[in-house]
Structure 1
């Protein structure tokens, strides 16, 4: 199925596997790429050497194009950009809007730049700066998300920019792909659906927790890190929501310290990154401290499988998922169902 996205990136199918921290590693990304979609490595939870190794391993597993998701506000973002250029990574993805100079450097080197956005004004801004495409996530999506549903945000962004738009938030099958195309999108991006595949590194017990969830078992809360975050509703999340601000900040500082030790980050570096995050997201310092809490809570859940002490980011779509296919089977079924859906649509009158 050829669209503006497939032509831009060089993949066979207009399906994107998003960059999920602690989840989107070489095995999942390469499996997606081999199946004809665009896999994206999540580097925000990787050190620079770990990202180098992940790119190298992904390249050893597939010759197909893939991408890397970067934190635009990271202290070493320019260095990581140069790594992508040097290693020939096809796509640079950003969870937050990159600045104009980063976009320019990547484009000059032939790297396709695809930021993720959650508002029309953000899409307009990165398009004016030269982004090649955007991923637009509606409220149904997992992790940090906004309040506008995909069915309203997607057409608004499509109408506002003249670059390819990829739809995210609530997609999991071929019917959704057809709906996105009808809105004017060039493809769909999925996180939770790819988290629940055989190649996903998430522990089996955690996958079963997701599969057993219903459409009402997710919630958007600011209790995790001070920003709206869609997660599975668990006892831990409920306790975080009930905790006072002082207790929450103490826990956040403790987890930030663990994250610093895990990645070997000096305190000055962590503080500088916090200051950048504060400016980029217009946060108060307590929110910055809470944001430092997130990586360790996600790691506890998605890496170690601690269902009682971890936080589980998820799209609302988890309530409709019941299987753990391979990436190949998933993408094949999406494209097959999309063609079947298109064929079954009522034909317009001949006159």
Structure 2
């Protein structure tokens, strides 16, 4: 199963809106006969790749799969039937399929006389498929907050300069995160201060991955000359009702940007973060890389909408300047967001820390009048 999980990871950034899935087929003697992973949406599923590799050796063997085999016909046929037709005698899967459309594969297999076992390394496999599972279970995108800061938590110097806090290796690693995401999100303050491009520029994925670039910009302050309006990737400017977007008319007419009008936060300042994620989910976005800034990050944290944090910490000190996280509704240490560290790694001269909030995905609080807005100063 761990081999199947590692195979599934090869599909990250390529399978959305489908899940990442890995499969290992063993022959009747328990030897590896075939392996496969879901490579792209619309292409063969992991089980099909593994069965093709195994050929006749699959008959009487075992299929080990990270996700319950599907039971429906979409752009490809049902994998449960393919496993039955191949003569598989036993199926072991990690995570049950949570979708109404595809679930039932295990029952179909059992009805055909296949020995089926579910739940093996379920937590480990679910983490590898966290974006798709969050989108399916909660009806919103998975949100990964990424930031880069000095050891004293500063994301820029007092004069606003921030290039470069981290080294080239860390910046290249961020492009890997972008390549795995469906959308990259920033606030209006970050757009004005940094004029980021937000496209994937490094690595093999740069030629094929074009995640949606999103600016939470209630007042439509994004200028017509912004770098992210260059047409290199799809771009969405989310504004509040009444915002004057006439200066963006040319970019919209030329297909370089879209405008989405979303409700304001209950505070009346900035956009409602729940509405923002709902709009992205409506557009088929299952994973969001939140790159900045501090105010937008604070609003999403306060709303219970951040699912994972990746911080790049540089061995440097500034002593002043903006902090990585803005107001998140915390007034006392007892209310601090506590996270569990999942990974620590050295990336060039910097440290990458990956952590998860100490809550279940279903425990995200509902919006309230105390939820900070997404507006940035």
Q: Report if TM-score (shorter chain) is over 0.5.
A: no
- Decide which structure has greater helix share: 1
Whose Rg is larger?
Answer: 2
Tell me the TM-score range normalised by the shorter chain: 0.3 to 0.5
| TM, length-normalised to structure 1 | 0.33
- Decide which structure has greater strand share: 2
| TM, length-normalised to structure 2 | 0.31
